[in-house]
Structure 1
């Protein structure tokens, strides 16, 4: 098994490390255009993996041809979101990078399953899917929902004081200003979340989840650890064919009344990639937020160099 991570900055290195700690591949390749960076990160990661007893081997390269034979490719390349920026501010900058890198994936690792991490997540996932090829709809997905879910669960734990292990939750829609944390579909030990908290507290958790990414970025410049873990969780579900239900940015072809667009939805993730998109019955307020997310992503797609 081989995993390639394209982009060896903090998030890419975190993704590689998390995959190595779970021993998801014999080889984890870090690729970057910056000379020395992926090689140095690979050395550092190998030192930790060695002490932890993991037999995954990380290596670094500046040559895209080295991704040949990859089972999974994690696309992190691009400019990171800076304090005060929205994800959509990144659109024009990162679209060219993602299209170029996706073309290289199509050339050297066309059979790989691809996880897109570059922001703005949903339009970049769509762009990568189109650039790699029309047969890749189930094998290209975006990481955003899994990251949003980790933040949502953290706020649920703060509000309830229960073990994080007991919390089940779901976040869908756009990875950005129109994300939709679904308190109505969340539970603790199988008991509806609304049995534990008031409507006011649920609304507070909803807003905190939507805004916390900007807060983390303002405080430390980038989110690193939760994205790396999210990538590893997605890879693990595919590599071990776990068929975990995970919120990912997936291509919709009629589901939720939406076609020809990538956006966050719950999906069964297994050896075949996005094996099934699960359609939830949203209420009026939830549907309104989801529709705003669809409109925002569709507007962004219009500006893409397809």
Structure 2
């Protein structure tokens, strides 16, 4: 099996470690690294020394580099964009990153319209709708092949829950679904559905529970502040991005079944989801069963605790505005 993966924004703080992780996946036979900065060719040369199957090449915007990076790609991963700095919200990133994602989506529609597209660029709540609108305009939109990567929220939920109950080394054993979106209050970790169950000493303590959920929702701020202006959550995001991509590869190309990961996907026509959450949204992060077609099935959100239900209401209001903002960015004529 040959498998080409294109990584767009490969020279950045997320892109470099993500490229290194992708190079280690034995299923990937070709790894195309694209960035607008020339150093991406050096990044590719560096990563190419790793003794794994993927033939690695770096491309810039010169000499039709984006075209060459995307042609034949079966999976495209997009961490491209500017990072957050202290005091910035994800919405502050919107105007810059929205334009970047729009331009990259247009190239994907032209050069690899059947690829699975994994969007990491923030604000994901808006950039995924932007990509969808571009694909719709090009006649290439397949809702089963477009993913907003929210896996960092899942990773944080496991890690921070384990820390909160005094079991920091036990993080890998907690599987906690996260629904909603990928920004602040739109992130809803369903701690009541953790497998194995979290102890009642946490779930039954309102103050501890509120503090933990706030920490998960705003974990990015924790990293931005700790790096004191020198960066954002790049390494954990690279890990989370790789985790989702390798799970997608295992389901879509390697025949693995029962692969379920939460992801921010197109949900406009999902009446059962609308009934569950009380509102119809075009995009929502929900547990997704992955398969050869990408999205095989959306799984139910499930029973929420009373507190989680109140958090869902707050998430829905903000999420609706973020989706509309992304759609308007594409649909509104430029002056």
TM-score by length of 1: 0.90
Cα distance change on mapping 1:289 and 1:197 into 2, 3 Å: closer
1:222 maps to what in 2?
232
SS in 2 for 1:10: coil
Measured in 2, the distance between the counterparts of 1:196 and 1:227 equals 30
What does residue 11 of structure 1 align with? 14
In 1, Cα distance between the equivalents of 2:149 and 2:239? 10
Length, aligned pairs only: 297
Query: Comparing 158-167 with 262-271, which one deviates more in the overlay?
Result: 158-167
Task: Show structure 2 runs of 5+ residues with no match.
Answer: 331-335
Alpha-carbon deviation of 1:163?
2.4
- Structure 1: runs of 5+ lacking an equivalent: none
Once the two structures are TM-superposed, the CA of residue 11 in structure 1 deviates from its matched residue by: 0.6
**What secondary structure is seen at the aligned counterpart in 2 of 1:303?**
helix
* 1:204-241 superposed Cα distances (whole Å, 9 cap, x missing partner): 32121112211101222111222222222222222221
Does the alignment pair 1:186 with 2:184?
no
Give me the CA root mean square deviation.
1.9
Asked if 1 retains the 8 angstrom alpha-carbon contact of 2:283 and 2:323, the reply is no
- TM-score, normalised via structure 2 length: 0.83
Per-residue displacement from partner, 1:163-192 (whole Å, max 9, x unpaired)? 2332221222121111111110113xx3x2
Aligned match of 1:231: 241
User: For the residues of structure 2 that align with 1:86 and 1:94, how far apart are their CA atoms?
Assistant: 13
Task: Select 1:32's aligned residue among 30, 35, 48.
Answer: 35
On the 8 A contact 2:126/2:325 being kept in 1, the answer is no
Shift of 1:86: 1.0
| Residue 104 (structure 1) shift | 0.6
The residue aligned with 2:44 is: 42
Tell me if the contact between 1:169 and 1:183 (Cα under 8 Å) persists in the aligned partners: yes
Deviation at 1:196, TM superposition (A): 6.0
Q: Give, in whole Å, the separation in 2 of the partners of 1:166 and 1:234.
A: 17
Aligned-residue offset at 1:198: 5.0
Going by fraction, where is strand more abundant, 1 or 2? Answer: 1
**Residues 1:153 and 2:155 are matched in the alignment:** no
Give the 5 Å matches for 1:1-306.
Answer: 1-8=3-10, 9-34=12-37, 36-47=38-49, 49-50=50-51, 54-62=52-60, 63-66=65-68, 67-133=70-136, 135-144=141-150, 146-158=151-163, 159-161=165-167, 163-178=170-185, 179-187=187-195, 190=196, 192-195=197-200, 197=202, 199-200=204-205, 201-220=208-227, 221-241=231-251, 242=256, 243-252=258-267, 253-254=269-270, 255-257=272-274, 258-280=279-301, 281-304=303-326, 305-306=329-330
Q: C-alpha separation between the residues in 1 aligned to 2:194 and 2:261?
A: 13
Q: Distance in 2 between matches of 1:3 and 1:198?
A: 41
Q: Which moved more, 1:246-255 or 1:198-207?
A: 198-207
CA contact (8 A) 1:160 1:197 kept: no
User: Residue by residue, what CA displacement relative to the aligned partner does 1:127-152 show, whole Å, maximum 9, x if unpaired?
Assistant: 112212363111001112x1111111
Alpha-carbon offset, residue 284 of structure 1: 4.2
Report how far residue 58 of structure 1 moved: 2.0
Q: Which residue of 1 aligns with 2:333?
A: none
